[in-house]
Structures are given as structure tokens and as C-alpha cells.
Structure 1
């Protein structure tokens, strides 16, 4: 019996980076492996398949060690790894600050395309300047690889934070900050394409950061060109990073139109955001399916899974989340800003009544003063 593909292979499969022969073998394996199908549907970046070679099983020479230098940066520790890169904490002695170094994974297949994806992430981050988007400091090369020097966020991922239930007001606060980061990307002409809890960081002080713009693309469908002129950077367009009939993004959070190969836009990011928000509020993702087809069908039919835990969420919040999960993109909110406005906290009723009363009293007082002035003015004229 063949062992399961490693997580990096499954991610490459979703991103369309495998050769046709390799893709065929993965498809054949998926037909008979429920575990791998669930990994694809769940989109858990940290899960390692049973029996699969772990991504961390690299030779010591392939990994950077404390004290190693990349350009001017001094490596301190390895923070983690994903399908595309390994992240290290490092010191920048020239500016006296800690940074996060995202390095192209050393054993990656289709290395050149992954390198281009990492450069695309750098270009996307360079277009964004927002407190809820991780800041890019520098881009450089090391040996035959590429690295990004980014803001080091001390905290946890939203996926880890969501493992424990939180009050709905706190969930909304955190997600509204993440939504502001997405809205900033849209304002810069970018669609994230892969928003999910694992791609969002929660700092120790409560600040939220949207990260991982490796498969971000232009917001407008006719913007098929690279984010930067190809003469200035060796970065392929999204057409070269997406194979016909294959996907970019994590299926469990993807809008149904993307599962069918349609164009990603702000509405599809909105859908992904609401899937994650539903999961954070109710303990379960809204749509379930053992295969990608079943997952897409559930989303298309609007078959919302029952909550895993009962939460007294206001009806207006439920309505907003459900609208963001509409199968038809046109039925969702027109923008992330309008969705965030619908999720914004409402004033306390007694405070609203007091404010209204104060306004009415002020208006009446003004009218009374105006009437008195008129009477006094009229009396003077008679004299």
C-alpha cells in the first residue's frame, strides 16, 4: 500500500504546481484515501498525514541554524513551516529590531514557480500599508532561494485561537480587524484568494494581521498581468500559476464559484471571511462534504450545518454572516466595508434612548429660545 502524499504535495496539487504525471498519481490516491480527501477539505495547514513523511524531516544542512546569517539578518530560531516556506525569527542588527524571515522551502518541487509565488507575495505586501496587514521590510536572496523579511508578530494564528470558544463580541472584534486588512487589500486592487484562520495572526496585544498573500491576484478580471512589470522582476502572471480545472486556495473556505474555476474577486474573499467567522462563532464550518464536489454542492444549496455550540448571537449578526455565505456572489454584501458595517457593534439601547432624548430636548430648547428672542424682538419694535 502506498503511503499518503506529504502535505506539501497536496498543497502543490491544489495550487496546480504538479506535473501532469504526478497530478494523475495523486488523483488516483485520493480516490481511495478518505483521510487525504478530508485534509484537502479541511485545509489545516498544520496537519501531517498518518504515514506521510513529515515536512520537517529535512537534513540539518537544509535548515538554517541559530547564528546563521541571511544578508544582514542573524537567525535566532525556526518558528514553523508551511507548504511554500520556512519561517525564522531573526535580528536586524542595523535597525535593531526582530523580524520574521520567510524562506522558500529547501526541498520544494517546481521550485521556480514557488519562488515566483514568494516574489508575488512580496509585491502584494509592498502595495499594502495597513495596521491589519503584516508589514514587508525587505526581499533578498540566499544561495539559490528567496527570502522575505517581515514584521515579526508575537502571538498565535487565528486557527489556534479558535480552538477554544470565545465570547461573540470578542470574536467580532477580532474578525472585524481581519476584515479591515482584507478591505485594505481590495482598496489596493488585490484579492487575497486564500483567507482562512491559519493565514491570520493574532498578536499578544490583541492586534490582528492578515498574512500569506502568496496567491493573491488582481481584483479586476482583465488584470492578468503580473503585479510588477516582468522586466523589473521575474514573476509570472496568475495565468501561469493556475492550471485549467485546478484550484488556488484552501477548499473548505473557498467560495463555490472558485471551486468551479471562476474568477476570484472581493465577493469570494467575503465568502471565505464569513466561513471562518461562522466557524469561530458556532464551532463548525457552515458547509460540510466528504469530497470537493459535496462541499461545493452544500454551499450552492445553502445547506448550513447546525451549530456545534449554542451562542446567543444577535439576529443581525447571523443575518450578516448568512448573507456573506450566499451562493450567488451578487447577493452578498457589495464590499467588505459594508459587511464590516453590518457587523459593527450597536449602541446600548438605554444609551441610544438617552441620546435621542437629549437631542429632542436640545431641539426643543433651541426652538423655545428662538421663540423668546422673536417675542423680545417684536416688543422692542412696538416701543
Structure 2
């Protein structure tokens, strides 16, 4: 494959950015990119932010990977939610990709730290942040870098999540530095990272919504008290002790710093900062309920077993958007389909074949999907019943099959519309359509 070509660019106040925008000023610059405030050239003259990747500043052998991560950030910012900074369009300048997104003039939540905000404001901020996380998680995306700097406030003071440069898909192995991070941000990353994500032995298996809930807990602790929960983190020598305390889950209660802390906040922080990730609160909806925000709309996961199309849509993978129609793969009242890695030399090994050439973490015989006519449900089992080393038996996959971050085994887990299935580094969302 030929190397990606990119030339150095220079944008000043008044410079054009593609045919539709004019640069107003630079908002910030990091190792990999620059963010500008821009104005649209149409009659509305709306202000936007534009993120430009400095692809030219990277060796040619890594440009493709960096550009792919940048494209993924754009895709994350296209998820529909009023609490995510929305990307509107993308383009190229001298071979360097850019995308345009909402401009939030009120800065980041970092400005809230140490301000002793009233809990009426904190509650609203937390609700909006959690709704943003909920939208990401429902699409199989883990933010992985949630912190006050990455929660922006729009003109009306609404909280919106941004900076998906290292956003991971559930149980993805990708571990990278922030696309736009500077050296000083490394402590910021460690300050908010869940302890299991710093442990290479379990980080892959533990990458799920619970990792973001830890970061949310640290973020809210800092906003409420003005301090990080596990001590000062200002120099190299602080890092070891900070991570040790985090791994033990030892921190001062909120009431040490504020006398007006509602009990619900002590409880939520306790559940977010549980150092055992399997015991930690694992979804934004439960956090919203603890804060008293009931009645939050949840997706309808009902479907007609016999009449509706039931399928798996690739959310993250090498064929994004592709839908595997399970109803066609398993016609009639019941049966099963096999799922595994797409083998060019033997493409009919499985009913459903997942293309994964970059990482190849999908097993050749990865999973089995069952249509159960008695229970009128679908379920997925890890592995397949086959011959291996001369033995006919149920053999598990190499890397496991997950449903909403829970590992399936040979007994299987039920799957419903909206569920997120992870096989290797490919993320699939269960979808239905009426009268296929």
C-alpha cells in the first residue's frame, strides 16, 4: 500500500478551511492536531470548531493508523445525542484530515473545579454528562478519557462530551495516547483512569462502561471538592502512591471538604470508585437513578420473534454499517448459525463471517447464535461444537464473546435489540426491523 501523502499547512486568522469555512483563531494545539474556531461562509455565519490532524508531522509508516483513529473520532462524534459535541462534516487540507463540529463558547468543566458550585448546578451537569455516556455506551463506545477538560459547556450551559481520540469500543485492545494530548496531560489521564485499565493482564477483558463510570466518579469528586480523590498528582514521585491508593479504593469522603453534600452523592461516588470493577456501578442509567433522575427514556427492546428481522450491525470493525441478517441465516422457527473469522481460502466455514484483517482477534470458530422457538428468543454462545484434535466437543473461542461486557459461555446469553456484542476487536449491535 502506498504511503499517505501530507504536506505542512499553516492557518491564520482569515485563512480558508475548505470551501465552507474561514478561520477566526486557534483554540489549542497538541502533539497530533490543532483546534480552530471557524465561521461558516454562508449567510448564517455560524461559529464552529474545527479539528485538523497534523498528519504531515508523523512518519509515513504510522500515518494510516493515525488517520484511521481520527476517522473513528469523527464517527463517534456523529452519534446522535444532545450531550455529545456533534461533528457536522469532514474534509482535507494538503492531505491532512479535518472535521468540523459544534463550538462550545463556555469552555470546559475544568473551570468548575474548586468553584464550590451549588448542587442544583452539579446535579444538572451530572445528568447531562451521564446522558452523553449513555448514548456512547448504547453504541458500543467507551470514552476512555472522561475528565473535566473533555466535558464542554455550550452557549446555554449544557454539558457535552468531546474528544473521542482514544475512545475504545467495548473490550477493544487499542491503548494509545490521546490524539491531541500534550505531555502535561499524561497525569490527567492517569488521574481519571480506572485501576484495572493500568493492569495489562486484565485491561482488555475489563474495558467496558464500568471504566467510564470510574472516570465519571473521579471527575465529579474533583468538581464537588476541588481535589482529586486519591491525593495530589503534580510530579513524577506522586504517581506511584496515587495509583496505589486508587487500586485500593481509599479516598476521603466528600463531606470532608463540603458540609452540604447530599447522601445520594456520597453513595454514587462510592459505587463509581469501587476498585473491584466487577462490583462497580456499570452503566449510566443506574447512576441517573441514584441521583433521582427517573423516567429517562430507554430503548424499546421488544420485538416479534416470528415477524421481525433480527440482525447484527457492525458498529466498529472493518465493515462498519454492515448488517448480518440472522433471520435469513436461520429461517423458520428455530436453528443456529455459526460465526467466525472470514477466511479468504475457505469463505464458507461459518454462516456469518467477520472481516478482521488488521488484528485477527476473531477466532475461526468463534461463536454460535441460536434461535430458540420454545423460549422465543435469540442467544449467543461462545465457541462451537466441532472436532478438534480428534475430539468432538464444545470448544471455546480464543478471546471470548461478550454481551454488554459480560462473557458468554457454552450455555449462552440472551441477546435483545440494542445489546452490544463484542467478538475480537469487532463490535456488533443487535438491531431489528419490522416485516423484513
Report the TM-score range of the alignment, normalised by the length of the smaller protein: 0.5 to 0.7
Of residues 177, 182, 194 in structure 2, which corresponds to 1:255? 194
1:136 paired residue number:
87
1:174 aligns to 2:174 (yes or no): no
Residue 300 of structure 1 deviates from its aligned partner by: 1.8
Asked whether the 8 Å contact 2:253–2:266 carries over to 1, the reply is no
Of residues 299, 317, 321 in structure 1, which corresponds to 2:246? 299
Q: 1:157 to 1:83 in 2, by over 3 A?
A: farther
Residue 172 of structure 1 deviates from its aligned partner by: 2.0
Q: Secondary structure at the match of 1:176?
A: helix
C-alpha distance in structure 2 between counterparts of 1:313 and 1:306, whole Å: 10
Structure 1, unaligned runs of 5 or more: 1-60, 225-237, 347-383
C-alpha distance in structure 1 between counterparts of 2:262 and 2:187, whole Å: 34
1:362 paired residue number:
none
Of residues 253, 257, 260 in structure 2, which corresponds to 1:309? 257
Q: Secondary structure at the match of 1:160?
A: helix
Deviations 1:225-270 (A, max 9, x none): xxxxxxxxxxxxx37889xxxx998110000001113132100000
Q: Secondary structure at the match of 1:146?
A: strand
Of residues 258, 271, 277 in structure 2, which corresponds to 1:323? 271
Deviations 1:285-304 (A, max 9, x none): 11126444322210121220
C-alpha distance in structure 2 between counterparts of 1:107 and 1:306, whole Å: 48
Q: Secondary structure at the match of 1:322?
A: helix
Of residues 63, 70, 74 in structure 2, which corresponds to 1:118? 70
Asked whether the 8 Å contact 2:106–2:155 carries over to 1, the reply is yes
1:4 paired residue number:
none
TM-score scaled by length of structure 2: 0.56
Asked whether the 8 Å contact 1:299–1:327 carries over to 2, the reply is yes
C-alpha distance in structure 2 between counterparts of 1:250 and 1:240, whole Å: 11
1:342 paired residue number:
290
C-alpha distance in structure 2 between counterparts of 1:95 and 1:260, whole Å: 52
RCO greater where, 1 or 2, for CA within 8 Å and sep 6 or more? 1
Of residues 7, 14, 21 in structure 2, which corresponds to 1:67? 14
Asked whether the 8 Å contact 1:85–1:104 carries over to 2, the reply is yes
Asked whether the 8 Å contact 1:131–1:209 carries over to 2, the reply is yes
1:273 aligns to 2:250 (yes or no): no
Of residues 68, 92, 100 in structure 1, which corresponds to 2:49? 100
C-alpha distance in structure 1 between counterparts of 2:104 and 2:119, whole Å: 24
Asked whether the 8 Å contact 1:215–1:248 carries over to 2, the reply is no
TM-score scaled by length of structure 1: 0.64
C-alpha distance in structure 2 between counterparts of 1:341 and 1:83, whole Å: 39
Larger proportion of strand: 2
Which one has a bigger Cα radius of gyration? Answer: 1
Structure 2, unaligned runs of 5 or more: 1-7, 179-185, 295-436
Larger proportion of helix: 1
Q: 1:206 to 1:137 in 2, by over 3 A?
A: same
Asked whether the 8 Å contact 1:193–1:248 carries over to 2, the reply is no
Asked whether the 8 Å contact 1:132–1:207 carries over to 2, the reply is yes
1:204 aligns to 2:155 (yes or no): yes
Q: 1:108 to 1:169 in 2, by over 3 A?
A: farther
C-alpha distance in structure 2 between counterparts of 1:170 and 1:340, whole Å: 15
C-alpha distance in structure 2 between counterparts of 1:241 and 1:115, whole Å: 14
Residue 327 of structure 1 deviates from its aligned partner by: 0.3
Q: Secondary structure at the match of 2:83?
A: coil
2:332 paired residue number:
none
Q: Secondary structure at the match of 2:117?
A: coil
